[in-house]
Structure 1
């Protein structure tokens, strides 16, 4: 009995802070990566579609294309609300992340309308990432959920930092090379869906 009591006490100490949940902390990185990738792409679509080997659009026409990127995200969000009731959130998250990677790779390796529309379609893949990562990250946290939510909301700083790095790479190596950065972010999101979201506590 004494041994069992000691084990219970040790478990309670192990769960004394939200910071000790592995799936939460990996989820914080997931939110950082997702928001960073989404904003990085959205912030540079105008410059991308204005490239001569894409469509060479003037600034106004290129700016109009951004609407499709964010519009796809909105449509996907509504569709995602339905799909999340039908399929495993972890698998849907991984599926969307893989879809985003494929679309970015298609865009990098193509020209003209294909390069533009494949990148704009990434918005559709982004649609359910935030709510899904958030939900997976706070699962099973009980009394630590409020603290965990604060940590996850703080992770949206990725939307400021990742685009800065994206811009640096674009300035030095070109926009197509810079698009490899969002790919890295989406690969992490895919991994989080398949492996990182499993609930375990850290030391």
Structure 2
């Protein structure tokens, strides 16, 4: 929001013209080009333990682990829900005649960041327990938020939802080995 405010000098979304987007996108393209050029020049060391040794036969394909395949599907669905709620919370708030629906989206994404931070401190709790608890709590937030027409409760799901990511990832890669 701060960057958009600086780039567009505080104009509202309705006042921005297509021609005013050329310069910011051109700057973004140049910055990404510089980043790509810099990254191609970095010599990263080879990780010896991750490489297949000559004559070594790996037991299974990585996709033969059902928990990994399910983890990929779960993360795909997780991202879909994360983005769908984040993009539509303001429309839901508008339909309920809330004064500042954009604030709800900002709080939702902020709670997503707080949840990721909280998730990093929960490493002592098993991933299964984290996923179960956060799924139930996020589901309750969605249910209560919809039944009471209160989007503030609905955005609470963002907090619990973001904690799920680490648990899903940990469960997906568990016992993969080499």
Residue 89 in 1 paired to residue 127 in 2? yes
Q: In structure 1, which of residues 37, 50, 69 is the aligned counterpart of residue 108 of structure 2?
A: 69
Give the secondary structure class of the aligned counterpart of 2:105: helix
1:113-132 deviation line (CA, Å, top 9, x unaligned): xx111111111011222222
TM-score of the pair, normalised by structure 1 = 0.56
**1:19 and 1:25 in contact (8 A); partners too:** yes
Query: How many angstroms does 1:16 deviate by?
Result: 2.0
Aligned partner of 1:57 in structure 2 is 98
Name the structure 1 match of 2:31: none
Query: Which is helix-richer, 1 or 2?
Result: 1
Name the structure 2 match of 1:155.
none
Distance in structure 1 (CA, Å) of the matches to 2:119 and 2:65: 27
CA distance in 2, matches of 1:92, 1:132: 6
Which position in structure 2 is the counterpart of 1:34? Answer: 78
Say yes or no: does 1:25 pair with 2:69.
Answer: yes
Structure 2: gaps of 5 or more residues: 1-56
Q: Does 1:101 align with 2:147?
A: no
Greater relative contact order, per chain length (Cα 8 Å cut-off, separation 6+) = 1
Number of the residue aligned with 1:135: 170
**RMSD of aligned Cα (Å):** 1.6
Residues 53-94 of structure 1: CA distance to partner in whole angstroms, max 9, x if unpaired?
A: x3x135xx2112211101111112222211222x11110111
Query: How many aligned residue pairs are there?
Result: 122
1:96-155 Cα offsets, whole Å, 9 max, x none, are 0111111111112112xxx11111111101122222211211111122xxxxxxxxxxxx
TM-score of the aligned structures, taking structure 2 as reference length: 0.64
Could you list the runs of 4 or more consecutive aligned residues of structure 1 that deviate by over 6 angstroms after TM superposition?
none
2: distance between equivalents of 1:132 and 1:121? 18
Structure 1: stretches of 5+ with no match in the other structure:
1-11, 144-203
